[in-house]
Amino acid sequence: MNEREIADFAAARTIGAAPFRLAIILVPGFALMSFASAIEPARAANRMSGRKLYQWALFGTGTGGVESNSGIEVAAKPVSELDPADFDMAIICAATHAEAKRFMAVEAAARRLHRAGLALAAVSTGSFVLARAGLLTGRRCTVHWDYADSFREAFPDVELLNDLFVVDGRILTCAGATAALDMMLELIQCHHGRELARQIADQFLHGGIRGATEGQRQVLLGAAVRNTVVQRAVQRMEATVEEPVSPAKLAHELGVSQRQLERLSKRYLGCTPAKFHAQLRLQRARRMLRQTELSVAEIAIACGFVSLSHFAKAYRRQFSVSPRQDRQAA
For residues 93 and 19, state if they share a domain: yes
Percent of the chain with pLDDT over 90: 65
Do residues 12 and 87 share a domain?
yes
Rounded CA gap, 1 and 291, in Å?
Answer: 28
26, 188 Cβ separation under 8 angstroms: no
Q: State residue 207's pLDDT score.
A: 74
Q: Are both 266 and 196 inside the same structural domain?
A: no
Q: Which of 153, 150, 157 is nearest to 330 (CA)?
A: 150
Residue 266 lies in a domain: yes
Question: Within a domain: residue 213?
Answer: no
Its pTM surpasses 0.75: no
Domain assignment of residue 208, yes or no: no
pLDDT-derived band at 316 (thresholds 50, 70, 90) equals very high
Residue 107 exposure: Cα atoms within 13 Å on the Cβ side = 14
Find residue 171's DSSP bridge partners.
120, 168
pLDDT of the residue at 31: 94
pLDDT confidence tier of residue 11, bands split at 50, 70 and 90: low
Higher-confidence residue of 308 and 100: namely 308
Cα 146 to chain centroid distance, Å, stands at 7
121 and 231 fall within a common domain:
no
Count of domains forming the chain: 2
Report the alpha-carbon distance of residue 292 to residue 259 in Å, rounded.
Answer: 38
Region 137-149: what's the mean pLDDT?
A: 91
Asked whether residue 183 falls in the same domain as residue 94, the answer is yes
Same domain for 23 and 155? Answer: yes
Beta-strand ranges (E) seen in the chain are 20-26, 54-60, 65-67, 73-75, 77-78, 89-93, 119-123, 140-142, 159-161, 165-168, 171-174
Asked if residue 326 is part of any domain, the answer here is: no
CA 23 to chain centre: 20
pLDDT of residue 222: 44
185 and 233 part of one domain: no
Bridge partners (DSSP) of residue 65 are 75
**Helical packing angle, 32-49 and 179-192, nearest 10°:** 30
List, in order, residues 6 or more apart from 239 with CB less than 8 Å away.
none
| Model pLDDT for residues 151-172, shown as the tens digit of each residue | 988 999 999 988 899 999 999 9
Specify the pLDDT at position 223: 42
Residue 271 has pLDDT above 90, yes or no: no
**Length of the chain in residues, anyone?**
330
Residues 48 and 167 in one domain: yes
User: Comparing 33-42, 107-116, 120-129, 200-209, which segment has the lowest mean pLDDT?
Assistant: 200-209
pLDDT over 70 at 6, yes or no: no
Write down which residue in 170, 203, 236 finishes a domain: 203
Of 203, 235, 253, the position where a domain reaches its end is: 203
| pLDDT over 50 at 219, yes or no | no
* Sequence letter at residue 168: D
Model confidence at 96, in pLDDT bands (50, 70, 90)? confident
Residue 315 has pLDDT above 90, yes or no: yes
Of 254 and 216, more confident: 254
Q: Is residue 302 part of a domain?
A: yes
The CA-based dihedral angle spanning residues 270, 275, 278, 282, taken in that order and rounded to the nearest 10 degrees: -50
Average pLDDT over residues 130-141: 97
- Banded model confidence at residue 3, pLDDT cuts 50, 70, 90: low
DSSP per position, 108-174: HHHHHHHHTT-EEEEETTHHHHHHHTT-STT-EEE--GGGHHHHHHH-TTSEEE-BSEEEETTEEEE
Q: What is the pLDDT of residue 307?
A: 92
Q: Is the pLDDT of residue 57 over 50?
A: yes
Q: How confident is the model at residue 329 (pLDDT cuts 50, 70, 90)?
A: confident
Residue 115 domain boundaries: 3-203
CATH number at residue 248: 1.10.10.60
Contact 173, 153 (CB under 8 A): no
Q: Tell me if 165 is assigned to some domain.
A: yes
Burial of 309 (0-12, 13-18, 19+ CB in 10 A): exposed
Q: What is the chain's mean pLDDT, rounded? A: 89
Q: Is 211 contained in some domain?
A: no
Q: Grade residue 266 by pLDDT with cuts at 50, 70 and 90.
A: confident
Residues 285 and 195 in one domain: no
- 275, 148: one domain: no
Instruction: Give the DSSP letter of residue 101.
Output: S
Say if 329 falls within a structural domain.
no
Using only C-alpha atoms, the chain has a radius of gyration, in whole angstroms, of 22
Residues 193, 137 share a domain: yes
Band of residue 218 on the pLDDT scale cut at 50, 70, 90: very low
Domain boundary among 176, 203, 230: 203
Report the C-alpha gap between 33 and 39 in whole angstroms. Answer: 10
| CATH code assigned at 178 | 3.40.50.880
Whether residue 278 sits in one domain with residue 135: no
Cβ neighbours for 63, distance < 8 A, ≥ 6 positions apart:
78
